[in-house]
Amino acid sequence: MLRVGVTGGIGSGKSTVSRRLAELGAVVVDADLVAREVMEPGEPTLDAVASRFGPEVLRPDGTLDRAGLASIVFRDPSALADLDAITVPAIARRVAARRRDVARESVSVYDMPLLVERGAWVNEHLTVVVEADVETRVQRLVDQRGLEEGDARRRMAAQATDEQRRAVADVVLPNDGSPDALAGLVDALWRDRLEPWHDNLLAGRRSRRPDHGAVVPPDPRWEARGSRVVAKLAAALSGQRTVTEVSHIGSTAVPGLPAKDVIDVQVGVRELADADAATFHAALRDAGYVCTPDNLADRAKPGSGETVWAKRYWGGCDPGEVVHVHVRQRGSQGWRFALLFPDWLRHVPAERAAYAAEKQRLLALDDRTGVYSEAKEPWFDDAWVRAGEWASRTGWHP
């Protein structure tokens, strides 16, 4: 099942996006609706809120005076923290139960205003941020929800900034235009990315880079993309005691270097055999990755002292972002070189330039991915020696 988190600042239009995704076939769990449910009369959460904030937050019929409660918590950060401590666990439990009930054949969408603030974005395969200009949002809240301008701005100030949301966004949908324009963006996202991604997950099929012209100019977004992939994988594998670290590796981890548009990630494990455990496989499958069982080793470098650089290899299913996951035993030569190589290129500009030149030379001869990758091996054999000498000279260690 594909999991999609939809978020955005108050008044941005995230609920409009979620409604459109529901029309296209997704099953939406709305955190705001769940929050209302757990605060209905008879719910223990409402009793706890009344106990903390006093009976004045209840109407005569026993229902919650939402406006009254909001006027308290949005003016007092400590009161807001107390409210969160009561409501967040209750909401999270009910949301988790609802999403567990979603059929495997459906796309599960979580409409969550505070997806970023709660750190919950790491549990979604894709995070969609809906964005609109601050003044546009204020005007919507005043005109459509009847809020006073000051109240609208206080609520906005209590949420994450646009910069914080963009940092974790896989997709940003601008919503300063017409409803039809936003619907068109959502339809394109569904058609071009979500549907094929979900199909890949169900079929156990990983996404692949093109066979020709796979190397592209440096992309300044690679670093942020790599950070998001690492954070999500680390969250998915947090229950695996064998995992020692998750790292963005390869050419896209080196600023300014042409590369295949692929995010390569290394997962270090204490023992490689642990990566064959059913729980490890289940965690990576749930995170959206497919195992490639016939890719069990890297080519060993001359003089490395090991005849086989053993690993396990997984591929992501997202058609919009190719991700390769290399699982290696911590302390092995392959594990060490995967971490050393990008550090070496980042710190030695001449070597980075030499590698870029070698890439261009080989691509001019034959830009087919398999041929290009094999042709790089002699250069890597020499680079293995030079990088090792640099590590010894500088005292580098993983």
Q: Measuring CA to CA, which residue among 301, 288, 282 is closest to residue 384?
A: 301
Q: Which is the CATH superfamily of the domain at 3-203? A: P-loop containing nucleotide triphosphate hydrolases (3.40.50.300)
Distance CA 214, CA 236 (A): 29
Integer angstrom CA distances of residue 361 from 95, 215, 295, 379, 383: 53, 12, 27, 12, 16
| pLDDT on residue 13 | 92
Residue with structure tokens 């719910």?
Answer: 43
Question: Read out DSSP for 1-17?
Answer: --EEEEEESTTS-HHHH
Tens-digit pLDDT profile for the chain (398 aa)? 999 999 999 999 999 999 999 999 999 999 999 999 999 999 999 999 999 999 999 999 999 999 899 889 988 989 999 999 999 999 999 999 999 999 999 999 999 999 999 999 999 999 999 999 999 999 999 988 888 899 899 889 889 999 999 999 999 999 999 999 999 999 999 999 999 999 999 999 999 988 877 789 999 999 999 999 999 999 999 999 999 999 999 999 999 999 999 999 999 999 999 999 999 999 999 999 999 999 999 999 988 888 889 999 999 999 999 999 999 999 999 999 999 999 999 999 999 999 999 999 998 898 888 888 888 999 999 999 999 999 999 999 99
b/e map 218-231, b = 16+ CB within 10 Å: eeeebeebbebbbe
Q: Does domain 215-394 have CATH number 3.30.460.10?
A: yes
Phi, psi of 136 (to 5 degrees): -65, -40
Q: Which residues are annotated as a binding site?
A: 11-16
User: Is 280:340 a contact under the CB 8 Å cutoff?
Assistant: no
| pLDDT on residue 198 | 97
| pLDDT on residue 361 | 92
How many other CB atoms sit within 10 Å of the CB of residue 351?
17
| pLDDT on residue 144 | 87
Q: What is the CA angle 243-286-317, rounded to 5?
A: 105
| pLDDT on residue 209 | 84
pTM for the full model?
A: 0.90
Q: Which residues are annotated as a binding site for ATP?
A: 11-16
User: Is 312:276 a contact under the CB 8 Å cutoff?
Assistant: yes
Specify the 3-state DSSP secondary structure of 250.
coil
Residue with structure tokens 């950070």?
Answer: 227
| pLDDT on residue 75 | 85
Torsion of CA 236, 240, 244, 246, to 10 degrees: -20
The answer for residues whose C-beta is within 8 angstroms of residue 210's C-beta and 6 or more apart is 369
- Per-domain boundaries in the chain: 3-203, 215-394
| pLDDT on residue 212 | 79
In SS3 terms, 141-178 reads as HHHHHCCCHHHHHHHHHCCCCHHHHHHHCCEEEECCCC
- Phi-psi map region of 13: left, alpha, beta (phi>0 left; psi -120 to 50 alpha): left
